[in-house]
Amino acid sequence: MNFLVCLKQTFDTEEKIVLKNGQISEEAVEFIINPYDEYAVEEAIRLKEKHGGEITVLTIGPDRTEQALRSALAMGADKAILVETEELEVELDEHSISQVIYAVLQEQDDEFDLILCGYMAVDDGSAQVGPRLAQLLQIPHVSTITSISVDGKNAAIEKDVEGDTEHIQTTLPLLVTTQQGLNDPRYPTIPGIMKAKRKPLTRYELDDLSLSEETIQSKTTQKEIFLPPKKTAGLILTGSIEEQVTSLIEKLNKEAKVL
Protein backbone atom coordinates (compact mmCIF):
# COMPACT_ATOMS: atom_id res chain seq x y z
CA MET A 1 0.00 0.00 0.00
CA ASN A 2 1.08 3.55 -0.64
CA PHE A 3 0.28 6.07 2.08
CA LEU A 4 0.39 9.85 1.97
CA VAL A 5 0.31 11.91 5.14
CA CYS A 6 -0.29 15.65 4.81
CA LEU A 7 1.06 17.50 7.82
CA LYS A 8 1.62 21.05 8.99
CA GLN A 9 4.22 22.59 11.25
CA THR A 10 2.57 24.69 13.95
CA PHE A 11 3.77 26.57 17.00
CA ASP A 12 3.81 24.63 20.25
CA THR A 13 0.56 25.46 22.03
CA GLU A 14 2.37 25.06 25.36
CA GLU A 15 4.52 28.05 24.47
CA LYS A 16 3.62 31.62 25.38
CA ILE A 17 2.00 33.30 22.37
CA VAL A 18 3.18 36.83 21.65
CA LEU A 19 1.33 39.05 19.18
CA LYS A 20 2.96 41.86 17.22
CA ASN A 21 0.97 44.07 14.86
CA GLY A 22 -1.94 41.65 14.89
CA GLN A 23 0.19 38.61 14.00
CA ILE A 24 1.88 35.84 15.99
CA SER A 25 5.54 36.63 16.56
CA GLU A 26 7.82 33.74 15.59
CA GLU A 27 10.72 34.99 17.71
CA ALA A 28 11.84 32.27 20.15
CA VAL A 29 8.80 30.15 19.24
CA GLU A 30 9.17 26.36 19.22
CA PHE A 31 7.58 24.70 16.19
CA ILE A 32 6.24 21.15 16.21
CA ILE A 33 4.20 18.79 14.04
CA ASN A 34 0.56 19.75 14.37
CA PRO A 35 -0.70 17.32 17.09
CA TYR A 36 -3.63 16.05 15.00
CA ASP A 37 -1.20 15.28 12.18
CA GLU A 38 0.91 13.15 14.51
CA TYR A 39 -2.05 10.77 14.79
CA ALA A 40 -2.08 10.56 10.99
CA VAL A 41 1.64 9.73 10.83
CA GLU A 42 1.31 7.10 13.56
CA GLU A 43 -1.71 5.42 11.95
CA ALA A 44 0.04 5.26 8.57
CA ILE A 45 3.04 3.58 10.25
CA ARG A 46 0.82 1.03 12.00
CA LEU A 47 -0.99 0.19 8.77
CA LYS A 48 2.32 -0.11 6.93
CA GLU A 49 3.63 -2.48 9.63
CA LYS A 50 0.56 -4.65 9.06
CA HIS A 51 0.14 -4.46 5.28
CA GLY A 52 3.52 -3.31 3.99
CA GLY A 53 4.04 -0.43 1.61
CA GLU A 54 5.57 3.04 1.68
CA ILE A 55 4.73 6.25 3.51
CA THR A 56 5.24 9.71 2.02
CA VAL A 57 4.85 12.78 4.21
CA LEU A 58 4.13 16.15 2.64
CA THR A 59 4.04 19.70 3.91
CA ILE A 60 3.87 23.24 2.57
CA GLY A 61 5.77 26.08 4.19
CA PRO A 62 9.10 27.86 4.71
CA ASP A 63 12.46 26.11 5.09
CA ARG A 64 11.93 25.53 8.82
CA THR A 65 9.12 23.06 8.04
CA GLU A 66 11.76 20.53 6.98
CA GLN A 67 12.19 19.88 10.71
CA ALA A 68 8.60 18.59 10.92
CA LEU A 69 9.17 16.29 7.95
CA ARG A 70 12.39 14.93 9.46
CA SER A 71 10.52 14.21 12.69
CA ALA A 72 7.90 12.22 10.75
CA LEU A 73 10.68 10.37 8.89
CA ALA A 74 12.28 9.56 12.26
CA MET A 75 8.97 8.13 13.45
CA GLY A 76 8.93 5.72 10.50
CA ALA A 77 7.84 7.44 7.28
CA ASP A 78 9.90 6.58 4.19
CA LYS A 79 10.21 9.79 2.17
CA ALA A 80 9.11 13.39 2.25
CA ILE A 81 7.96 16.24 0.01
CA LEU A 82 8.38 19.92 0.89
CA VAL A 83 6.69 22.65 -1.11
CA GLU A 84 8.69 25.76 -0.23
CA THR A 85 6.93 29.08 0.25
CA GLU A 86 9.87 31.10 1.60
CA GLU A 87 9.72 33.65 -1.21
CA LEU A 88 5.94 33.72 -1.45
CA GLU A 89 4.54 37.21 -0.87
CA VAL A 90 0.89 36.20 -0.43
CA GLU A 91 -0.80 34.11 2.24
CA LEU A 92 -2.14 30.68 1.33
CA ASP A 93 -5.52 29.71 2.73
CA GLU A 94 -7.20 26.29 2.87
CA HIS A 95 -8.39 26.57 -0.74
CA SER A 96 -4.87 27.42 -1.95
CA ILE A 97 -3.18 24.69 0.10
CA SER A 98 -5.49 21.95 -1.16
CA GLN A 99 -4.88 23.11 -4.73
CA VAL A 100 -1.09 23.01 -4.20
CA ILE A 101 -1.23 19.50 -2.71
CA TYR A 102 -3.40 18.35 -5.61
CA ALA A 103 -0.86 19.78 -8.09
CA VAL A 104 1.99 17.97 -6.31
CA LEU A 105 0.11 14.68 -6.52
CA GLN A 106 -0.23 15.14 -10.27
CA GLU A 107 3.57 15.21 -10.45
CA GLN A 108 3.97 11.88 -8.63
CA ASP A 109 4.43 8.55 -10.40
CA ASP A 110 2.88 6.69 -7.47
CA GLU A 111 -0.82 6.56 -6.72
CA PHE A 112 -1.79 6.65 -3.06
CA ASP A 113 -4.21 4.13 -1.62
CA LEU A 114 -4.78 6.00 1.63
CA ILE A 115 -4.29 9.70 2.37
CA LEU A 116 -4.28 10.77 6.01
CA CYS A 117 -4.58 14.33 7.30
CA GLY A 118 -5.03 15.71 10.78
CA TYR A 119 -8.60 16.70 11.60
CA MET A 120 -7.50 20.34 11.89
CA ALA A 121 -4.47 22.51 12.60
CA VAL A 122 -4.27 23.90 16.13
CA ASP A 123 -3.24 27.34 14.85
CA ASP A 124 -6.22 28.07 12.61
CA GLY A 125 -8.70 25.26 13.30
CA SER A 126 -10.32 25.38 9.86
CA ALA A 127 -10.54 21.58 9.30
CA GLN A 128 -10.92 22.20 5.55
CA VAL A 129 -7.78 21.01 3.77
CA GLY A 130 -8.56 17.27 3.95
CA PRO A 131 -12.14 17.49 2.67
CA ARG A 132 -11.15 19.97 -0.05
CA LEU A 133 -8.34 17.68 -1.25
CA ALA A 134 -10.67 14.66 -1.33
CA GLN A 135 -13.09 16.67 -3.46
CA LEU A 136 -10.35 17.59 -5.92
CA LEU A 137 -9.22 13.96 -6.11
CA GLN A 138 -12.84 12.75 -6.32
CA ILE A 139 -12.28 10.03 -3.73
CA PRO A 140 -14.25 9.08 -0.59
CA HIS A 141 -13.55 11.07 2.57
CA VAL A 142 -14.27 10.26 6.23
CA SER A 143 -13.44 12.83 8.91
CA THR A 144 -12.41 12.54 12.57
CA ILE A 145 -11.90 8.77 12.59
CA THR A 146 -11.16 6.82 15.78
CA SER A 147 -10.45 3.44 14.15
CA ILE A 148 -9.58 2.12 10.69
CA SER A 149 -8.85 -1.36 9.35
CA VAL A 150 -8.04 -2.26 5.76
CA ASP A 151 -8.75 -5.52 3.94
CA GLY A 152 -7.63 -5.42 0.34
CA LYS A 153 -9.46 -2.51 -1.28
CA ASN A 154 -12.03 -2.27 1.52
CA ALA A 155 -11.82 -0.16 4.67
CA ALA A 156 -13.85 -0.36 7.88
CA ILE A 157 -13.92 2.88 9.87
CA GLU A 158 -15.27 4.07 13.20
CA LYS A 159 -15.84 7.68 14.24
CA ASP A 160 -17.43 9.44 17.19
CA VAL A 161 -20.84 10.93 16.47
CA GLU A 162 -22.76 12.84 19.16
CA GLY A 163 -21.59 10.58 21.98
CA ASP A 164 -22.02 7.36 19.96
CA THR A 165 -19.97 5.47 17.36
CA GLU A 166 -20.64 5.46 13.63
CA HIS A 167 -19.43 2.44 11.62
CA ILE A 168 -18.57 3.11 7.97
CA GLN A 169 -17.63 0.73 5.16
CA THR A 170 -15.88 2.23 2.14
CA THR A 171 -13.26 1.49 -0.50
CA LEU A 172 -9.76 2.65 -1.42
CA PRO A 173 -8.43 5.06 -2.55
CA LEU A 174 -9.63 6.99 0.46
CA LEU A 175 -8.87 10.14 2.45
CA VAL A 176 -9.40 10.24 6.22
CA THR A 177 -8.79 12.89 8.86
CA THR A 178 -7.52 11.81 12.26
CA GLN A 179 -8.21 12.93 15.79
CA GLN A 180 -7.32 12.17 19.39
CA GLY A 181 -8.28 8.65 20.44
CA LEU A 182 -7.17 6.99 17.21
CA ASN A 183 -3.75 6.03 18.62
CA ASP A 184 -0.83 7.15 20.77
CA PRO A 185 1.91 8.59 18.53
CA ARG A 186 5.36 7.14 19.12
CA TYR A 187 8.46 9.17 19.92
CA PRO A 188 11.30 9.14 17.38
CA THR A 189 14.17 6.90 18.49
CA ILE A 190 17.86 7.79 18.18
CA PRO A 191 18.34 5.21 15.36
CA GLY A 192 15.20 6.60 13.70
CA ILE A 193 16.56 10.14 13.88
CA MET A 194 19.86 9.03 12.32
CA LYS A 195 18.06 7.16 9.52
CA ALA A 196 15.80 10.17 8.86
CA LYS A 197 18.82 12.24 7.82
CA ARG A 198 19.42 9.85 4.90
CA LYS A 199 15.83 9.43 3.76
CA PRO A 200 14.87 11.21 0.51
CA LEU A 201 13.25 14.64 0.64
CA THR A 202 11.95 16.18 -2.57
CA ARG A 203 11.59 19.95 -2.78
CA TYR A 204 9.20 21.89 -4.96
CA GLU A 205 8.62 25.58 -5.44
CA LEU A 206 5.26 26.83 -6.63
CA ASP A 207 6.85 27.70 -10.00
CA ASP A 208 7.62 23.98 -10.46
CA LEU A 209 3.94 23.07 -10.37
CA SER A 210 1.25 23.44 -12.99
CA LEU A 211 -0.65 26.12 -11.12
CA SER A 212 -2.10 29.34 -12.37
CA GLU A 213 -2.13 32.48 -10.24
CA GLU A 214 -5.91 32.33 -10.19
CA THR A 215 -5.90 28.72 -8.95
CA ILE A 216 -3.94 29.50 -5.79
CA GLN A 217 -5.57 32.85 -5.11
CA SER A 218 -6.78 32.82 -1.51
CA LYS A 219 -10.52 32.86 -0.98
CA THR A 220 -10.21 34.26 2.54
CA THR A 221 -8.18 37.02 4.19
CA GLN A 222 -6.91 37.04 7.76
CA LYS A 223 -7.04 40.63 8.95
CA GLU A 224 -5.95 40.32 12.56
CA ILE A 225 -5.22 37.88 15.37
CA PHE A 226 -5.96 38.93 18.93
CA LEU A 227 -5.99 37.36 22.37
CA PRO A 228 -9.27 37.04 24.28
CA PRO A 229 -9.91 39.81 26.82
CA LYS A 230 -8.65 39.21 30.33
CA LYS A 231 -11.23 37.95 32.78
CA THR A 232 -12.49 40.47 35.29
CA ALA A 233 -13.50 39.82 38.86
CA GLY A 234 -17.00 38.46 39.39
CA LEU A 235 -19.75 40.50 41.06
CA ILE A 236 -21.27 39.29 44.32
CA LEU A 237 -24.83 40.46 44.94
CA THR A 238 -25.91 41.13 48.51
CA GLY A 239 -29.20 41.71 50.27
CA SER A 240 -32.41 39.73 50.20
CA ILE A 241 -33.35 37.50 47.26
CA GLU A 242 -35.74 40.18 46.00
CA GLU A 243 -33.05 42.85 46.20
CA GLN A 244 -30.51 40.63 44.45
CA VAL A 245 -32.96 39.87 41.61
CA THR A 246 -33.76 43.57 41.20
CA SER A 247 -30.06 44.47 41.20
CA LEU A 248 -29.25 41.72 38.70
CA ILE A 249 -31.96 42.81 36.28
CA GLU A 250 -30.82 46.42 36.52
CA LYS A 251 -27.19 45.54 35.80
CA LEU A 252 -28.12 43.27 32.88
CA ASN A 253 -30.25 46.05 31.46
CA LYS A 254 -28.09 49.15 32.04
CA GLU A 255 -24.52 47.79 32.19
CA ALA A 256 -24.41 44.59 30.18
CA LYS A 257 -27.24 45.82 27.90
CA VAL A 258 -28.49 42.30 27.23
CA LEU A 259 -32.09 42.97 28.27
Q: 29 in a domain, yes or no?
A: yes
| 36 and 129 share one domain | yes
Burial of 209-219, coded b for 16+ CB within 10 Å and e otherwise, reads bebeeeebeee
pLDDT tens, residue by residue, 127-177: 999 999 999 999 999 999 999 999 999 999 999 888 899 999 999 999 999
| 127 and 233 share one domain | no
Parallel/antiparallel/unpaired status of strands 174-178 and 114-118 = parallel
C-alpha–C-alpha distance, residues 136 and 100, integer Å: 11
Low-confidence ranges of the chain (pLDDT < 70): 89-90
C-alpha–C-alpha distance, residues 128 and 84, integer Å: 21
| 115 and 145 share one domain | yes
Q: 190 in a domain, yes or no?
A: yes
| 73 and 108 share one domain | yes
| 102 and 172 share one domain | yes
Q: 222 in a domain, yes or no?
A: no
Give the residue numbers spanning the domain of 155. 2-208
Global pTM?
0.85
- Predicted confidence at residue 210, as pLDDT, reads 83
C-alpha–C-alpha distance, residues 64 and 82, integer Å: 10
Q: 215 in a domain, yes or no?
A: no
| 167 and 240 share one domain | no
Q: 214 in a domain, yes or no?
A: no
C-alpha–C-alpha distance, residues 128 and 189, integer Å: 32
Phi, psi of 157, deg, nearest 5:
-130, 145
Count other C-beta atoms under 10 Å from residue 1's C-beta: 16
Q: 213 in a domain, yes or no?
A: no
| 168 and 241 share one domain | no
- Predicted confidence at residue 231, as pLDDT, reads 83
* Beta-bridge partners for 147: 158
Q: Is 228 helix (H, G, I), strand (E, B) or coil?
A: coil
252-255 contacts at long range (C-beta below 8 A, 24 or more positions apart): none
| 134 and 72 share one domain | yes
Sequence-ordered alpha helix ranges (H) in 94-128: 94-107
| 183 and 254 share one domain | no
* CATH at 62: 3.40.50.620
| 183 and 251 share one domain | no
Sequence-ordered alpha helix ranges (H) in 14-113: 35-51, 66-75, 94-107
Phi, psi of 10, deg, nearest 5:
-125, 165
Contact 150, 114 (CB under 8 A): yes
Q: Is 211 helix (H, G, I), strand (E, B) or coil?
A: coil
- Predicted confidence at residue 89, as pLDDT, reads 64
| 204 and 232 share one domain | no
- Total domains in the chain come to 2
- Predicted confidence at residue 217, as pLDDT, reads 86
